[in-house]
Structure 1
């Protein structure tokens, strides 16, 4: 996805693992959706961030699922609330708290499921 000015909405497909993630973001005053990163399985949850709300953390679990090493669970923290966990909290825990600034984008690897996820950071 790359870095954005503002993340507006997050769609997560989840079940026993994270099937897919899709982000609505603003960059250069244009609003657009990323492609869906991952497959079409699992339940769909949509997180709509409010005006002034921004991502301050992402955490979750990764591990083996159906003989694949994937992201099992995701939780999103903002300056207002916490969303999740989505998926199964099984495997090895990870956490990316942002002390000063905000999460402005995501990168990762995917196939039918989300294999890996990382974040881009920017100032508040």
Structure 2
């Protein structure tokens, strides 16, 4: 279980969520983007084994991927949305990745205050329509629906 923040975005598409049970860390993020965020894929370590989500969204836009180092973790996800997620930026304890997409529309920020982001949830179809995060706080994972 984890603290759940969001989602931020519109109401299109279908529900997507990661099972955060036994996830120790996120190792890679893949983003398809152009004038908006077309899709998101997340690779992570669960119980010592590397796994991946399916691609949340469509095949449009350019593909950008980044790896997180062994001691690196996501501290915040921010961006903009309208009818879909227009832009997304990932902040870590060591740097920033993005923005991907166009920074226009309604701004949002999902910070992991005193913790780290260990998973994602949202809505997708042809695009990524909404994004939210699961936060592990002080090594203990709690469920708080905001």
TM-score, normalised to structure 1, is 0.93
Deviation at 1:47, TM superposition (A): 1.0
| 1:2 match | 19
Deviation at 1:73, TM superposition (A): 0.2
List alignment gaps of at least 5 residues for structure 2.
1-17, 140-146
Give the number of equivalent residue pairs.
Answer: 119
Task: Tell me which of 103, 108, 111 is aligned to 2:117.
Answer: 103
Q: Does 2:84 align with 1:89?
A: no
Question: Counting strand residues as a fraction of each chain, which structure ranks higher?
Answer: 1
RMSD (Å) for aligned C-alpha atoms? 0.9
TM-score, normalised to structure 2, is 0.79
Q: 1 CA distance for matches of 2:19 and 2:121?
A: 7
Kindly report structure 1 stretches of 4+ aligned residues shifted beyond 6 Å. Answer: none
Task: Tell me which of 10, 35, 50 is aligned to 1:31.
Answer: 50
Q: State the structure with bigger RCO (CA 8 A, min sep 6), 1 or 2.
A: 2
List alignment gaps of at least 5 residues for structure 1.
64-68
